[in-house]
Structure formats: structure tokens, C-alpha cells
Structure 1
Amino acid sequence: MIPLSTLLINSLKTKCTNCFQFQRYATRKRFYRNTGIIQNEQNWEVTLDHRRLKTPNGKVLLVNSEPLARAIAAEWDSQKEYIALPVMHLTALCNTALDNPGKLTSHDITSYLLDYLPTDTLLFHSDEEEELRVLQEQKWGPILEWFQERFNVKQEVSRGLTPPPVSTETRAVLARHFLSYSFPAINAIYFGTEALKSPILMLACVERRLDPKDAVLLARLEEEYQLIRWGRVPWAHELNQAELTARVAASLLVVQCTAERHSSAKKTPPGEFAPQ
């Protein structure tokens, strides 16, 4: 069983909820007092005042992991006066995987990720600012080296606006890797990739080479470089960073929790044998 990372849970505890409330993104008030989970054969459900939580299409929200069900229940329990759906990333990911509004398949998402790779943030190094290019090589270089060693591929970088080539062999290797995940997991990888603008950074997170906070900082490297030079609005940039970190953390939580099935078993009292 893969233990839930305290880092992931802490990353999900963003204060963005309050910001969304003030901006009136929430569409309904909290209508329940308590949250909980129940086991349904090998799956788990989330309850709101003992009523089963359902997806927008009316399906019962089922997950195959007790820790993931508890995390979703905690997400609903953390809502205050209003339900801020835009920042409830775990619920959104599970709803999307179950309802599949785009009628996508794992092959569809894999094709999208492979097409995204040539535009990966880490593959574009500055050709105008020497200081920025050196920083990119220092910060991004180790991750690119890890990526190539991990998947036994070679990947060029670009010094301009032209996307670097991605070989057929690289695409084939990554296609096999992505297709090894379940649909909820690859859907979560897609969500994290969108947040980071980088399949490579998302893979590094999934493989536990990076944590969400560090991945977001690497994804925002050029922006942070410019902010250091020209100044920043602290609360705005910190809020954006916290939101991106929460998105990536939610994605990783879904990937990790769907990697294995978790079920509860009744404990056998000392001196007794479990039934066969």
C-alpha cells in the first residue's frame, strides 16, 4: 500500500477557497453538516449527511481507494458557508473520470500528452538572456537528464521558438508508459500536465523525483526570474503558486491512490483464525 504523502495533503490545504468565496465563484451554500465514507464491495463512496455523493451526471461517486475517499470527504468537509467547486480538485478529477464528458479514451489522452511534449516548458531555453539560460540549464538540466535516463531516450532542447523534434522511439516509449495507467490515473496526469505546462515535470512528480511545490517553482522559473527583476505583487503571485501546487498535488493523490486497490478487512481477535 502506497502511504499518502503528508506533503500532498498539505499542498491541497490552500487558502484559495476564501478567495473564490469573495469573488462569488461559489454557486450554492453548504447544505450538509457531516461527511463520511462507506465501503461498497471493493470500492468506496463519500457521503454527505449519510447521502451518497454523486457526479454531475447523477452517478454515485465511486473510487477504488479508501485514502482517496477520505481525502474527497475531507475536501467537502473543509467547505465553509459556501461550496467552492472551482478549488475542489479531487472531486472534479473523480467526477471527470466517471462521467467522462468528452467521451475520451486512454489512447486519446495519451495522444494529447505526446503531442504536448514538443511544447514542454523545459524544452525551451532562452536565446536572448544569458543569465536566464544559465539558470534554466542549472535548474532544468537535472530533470531533463533524469527523464532521458529513466525512459532511455534522447531529447533535444530548443534555443528559440521552434519546438524541438521528438523521435518516434521516444513517443513509443512514453505511449506504453502512459497506457499502463488506469483511466482515472491518466486523466489526473493530464490535469497535472495542464497545470505545469510540462509532461516531463508531471512524470517527475509521479515518479517521486519532485514534489508538487518544487515542480511548480520549476514550471514558473522564467516568470520568477522576470519577477525578481521587475517586481511582484506578493499576494497575487503567491496565490497563483498555491493554486497550481494544489492542482498538481490533487493529480498526484489520484494517481497514487488508484495505483493500488485498498479494502478494509475485519480484524481477527487473538486466538481465532480468519475465515477462508
Structure 2
Amino acid sequence: MRDFLEAAQEEAAKDPEQRARELSKRELPKRFYKAATHVAADGGYAIHLDGRPVKTPGKALLLLPSEALGAAVAAEWEAQEKEINPANMPLTRIANSAQDAVSIRFDEVADDVTRFAGNDALCYRADDPETLVETQRRLWDPVVDWAGGLLGGRFVLIEGLIHAPQPDALLAAYRGRIAGETPLRLAALHTATSLTGSALLALALKENRLDPDAVWKAAHVEEDFNIERWGEDAEAAQIRAYKRKELDAAALILREG
């Protein structure tokens, strides 16, 4: 089990699409336990496999802060059939990453999320075709305006790909907004940011401004536009489904953690 969890931890640091491709090709370990349960423990809820507690790759007891999350992580393990597929266990990976890595490198992770806000996907707009421009405006403007109001400033919108800096005070306000998060919630926030390319959408998810469906729709405006025009191949659909599971896991942590 330890080797499997170490491998799962390494996956958390990779790009979601790269991770999906690699996991689809990996020889998966066999399921070695009969039952997975969540059990109340000092500091939260532990995951037991046939009565044995699951530990993180760093050998710490894996703990979830709420019963809802404990039950959800146990369900990931219980849902594994003949093989253990890390692609179907995003909550476990995020929780491992939070305890072993984010708890130690909290400031680095928070700074990385803030850097996304300085180069946020929602601030970079297409100049044509008009249907895409209008969809971006309709779905993105309310989020950008809301985030600017929450943080006490205004984000700069850029047409095209040439970078324009965001106000330092605005980014400092974003960094301050996430400074008090727990390692688990910050890990989930980082996951949501990486998946969407937008720290603003991740913030809207964290603050319950948008639900996961709305975040997903806003994050895939251009992708959906291209699918409507050209269709979607099977591999792209598989990666997209994988990414949606990751986003839903991050959203659950932000809601229940």
C-alpha cells in the first residue's frame, strides 16, 4: 500500500492532463483489502482498510477534517474493484498532498495560486468570432467584476495574448484572502486553479459565489466553442471527464473541509 500511495502523491504535482494520460497507461495494483471505512480519530476521521489505518506517503495518519470528507474518501477506496485506480481517487491524492506537502510549503503554494491571479485566464479575451467574444463576456465579466469588488480593485482585461500586469495591491489582497486557509483547503484551491487556469474561478468556488457546474462551464468556454465547431475525439473526452472528477473533488473539500 505504501508504494501505491507514494506514487499517488507524485501524481498530485503533475499537470492534470499529463496525469490522466500516464494513469491510463499504468499497470494498476490489485485491490488487497475487503472493506474501506471511515473512523473517528483524534483530529478528524481516519480511513481504515480492513481495520488498518491508511497513512500518507510521509507516514502520517491520513486524516480528514469532517465526517462527510471521511466518508467520501472511504468511498473512493471502497469503489475500487479488482484493481486500485488512482485516477478515480482525487480526494485521496489531494488529502495526501495537503498533509505531506502543502502543510510544509504553504506559502509557496499560496504564492503560486496568487500568480495565477496575476495572469488569469478570465482576463485574456478573444477578439473574434463575435459569438465567442460574447460568451466570454457573459460568463466571465460577472466573475471578474465580483472578484475585483471583493478584493478592492479592478482586474485589467487583455484582448489577445500580450501580457499586461495586474495591480500589485489587488494581488496582495488575493494573497491575503487565502492566507488563513487550512493546508487541505489550499490544496483544493490550487487544484481548482490549475484545472481551470483561473484563480478567480477558484476563488468564486471557495467563496460559494459559483457552484462547480458554473465554474466548469466558465472554464471551458473556448473548449466548448471548438467542440461545437469541430467535434471532440475520444481521448479528449476521457481527459475532460477525468478533469471534471478532479474539480468536483476540490469543490467537495472546499465545501466540507
How far apart, CA to CA, are the structure 1 residues paired with 2:228 and 2:82?
38
Stretches of 4+ aligned residues off by more than 6 angstroms = none
How far apart, CA to CA, are the structure 1 residues paired with 2:103 and 2:53?
24
One-letter code aligned to 1:256: R
Corresponding residue of 2:149: 149
1:106-255 pair list within 5 angstroms:
106-233=106-233, 235-255=234-254
CA shift digits 1:134-193 (9 cap, x unpaired): 221122112212222232321111001122321121012111111021122112111111
Matched, 1:92 2:85: no
One-letter code aligned to 1:251: A
How far apart, CA to CA, are the structure 2 residues paired with 1:86 and 1:107?
28
1:203 Cα shift? Answer: 0.9
One-letter code aligned to 1:133: V
Corresponding residue of 1:270: none
How far apart, CA to CA, are the structure 2 residues paired with 1:243 and 1:31?
24
Going by fraction, where is helix more abundant, 1 or 2? 2
How far apart, CA to CA, are the structure 1 residues paired with 2:173 and 2:25?
45
Aligned CA-pair RMSD: 2.3
C-alpha change, 1:33 and 1:24, in structure 2 (3 Å) is farther
TM-score using structure 1 length = 0.79
How far apart, CA to CA, are the structure 2 residues paired with 1:193 and 1:51?
34
Corresponding residue of 1:77: 78
1:220 Cα shift? Answer: 1.3
Corresponding residue of 1:267: none
Contact 1:140-1:218 at 8 Å conserved across structures? yes
1:44 Cα shift? Answer: 1.5
- The percent identity for this pair of structures is 26
Larger Rg: 1
How far apart, CA to CA, are the structure 2 residues paired with 1:27 and 1:56?
17
Corresponding residue of 2:46: 45
Gaps of 5+ in 1: 1-18, 259-276
1:129 Cα shift? Answer: 2.8
1:103 Cα shift? Answer: 7.7
One-letter code aligned to 1:243: Y
Contact 2:38-2:46 at 8 Å conserved across structures? yes
One-letter code aligned to 1:139: L
One-letter code aligned to 2:141: G
Higher relative contact order (CA 8 A, sep 6+): 1
Aligned length: 238
How far apart, CA to CA, are the structure 2 residues paired with 1:207 and 1:46?
28
> Which stretch of the first structure deviates more once superposed, 39-48 or 67-76?
39-48
How far apart, CA to CA, are the structure 2 residues paired with 1:139 and 1:236?
27
Matched, 1:65 2:66: yes
Contact 1:105-1:183 at 8 Å conserved across structures? no
One-letter code aligned to 2:185: A
Indicate the SS of the match to 1:47: strand
How far apart, CA to CA, are the structure 1 residues paired with 2:202 and 2:35?
34
1:10-21 pair list within 5 angstroms:
none
How far apart, CA to CA, are the structure 2 residues paired with 1:89 and 1:167?
34
Contact 1:212-1:245 at 8 Å conserved across structures? no
C-alpha change, 1:58 and 1:255, in structure 2 (3 Å) is same
Corresponding residue of 1:273: none
Contact 2:110-2:175 at 8 Å conserved across structures? yes
How far apart, CA to CA, are the structure 1 residues paired with 2:103 and 2:142?
37
CA shift digits 1:202-242 (9 cap, x unpaired): 11111222222321221111121122122223x44443332
Contact 1:29-1:81 at 8 Å conserved across structures? yes
Indicate the SS of the match to 2:159: coil
